[in-house]
Amino acid sequence: MSYWDTIVIGERVEIGSHRFEAADIKRFAAKYDPQPFHLDEDAARHSVLGGLCASGWHTTAVWMRLNVDSQTARIRAFVAAGNPVPKAGPSPGLKNLRWLKPVYAGDTVTFSQHVTAKRKSASRPGWGVIEFSCEGVNQSGETVFSFDAAAFYGTD
């Protein structure tokens, strides 16, 4: 059995939750997104966002970490069951990234993904593309972030 065959269109997986702490929000922002509403509580309170909140790129980076950890655990379990090690490749990109609500300091976001399509590559024999939709939902049930992405996997 190949790992490719275990991925089913329509499956929905929760990949984990993360609480965004003020110190982490500021640390990420100081390096990659030094805007006042990501750096300082007082400045944030007087900004259009109304409070200290994570850079949108911090939210996507945390999603990526949970995604890698979740995938790694799934692949390890697959291999531990006596199956061959799957090939996985880089992502060609993503579409429709939306930051729908601010992620405030202290918010906990739960991330999930939903497989929407899979197809074998015509140009790269032995490889295929999985398409999936991702979203992050905060502790109040509000969707804060979503996007549609794709990833390459070996099909053999």
Provide the binding-site residues for a second copy, judged by CB under 8 A.
31-35, 37, 48-49, 55-57, 60-62, 64-65, 68-69, 87, 89-99, 102
Provide the Cα torsion 32, 98, 136, 147; round to 10°: -100
Distance CA 99, CA 89 (A): 26
User: In angstroms, rounded to a whole number, what is the distance separating the alpha carbons of residues 5 and 10?
Assistant: 13
Report, in Å, the least distance between residue 61 CB and a second copy.
4
- Residue closer to a second copy by CB (options 8, 40) is 40
- Looking at the Cβ atoms of 8 and 39, the one nearer to a second copy is 39
Q: Token digits for 145?
A: 């972030």
Nearer to a second copy, 115 or 150 (CB): 150
Q: Which two tokens stand for residue 67?
A: 């995604």
Task: For the CB of residue 143, give the shortest distance to a second copy in the complex, in Å.
Answer: 12
Q: Least separation, in Å, of the C-beta of 95 and a second copy?
A: 6
Phi, psi of 63, rounded to the nearest 5 degrees? -55, -45
Closest distance to a second copy from the beta carbon of 38 (Å): 10
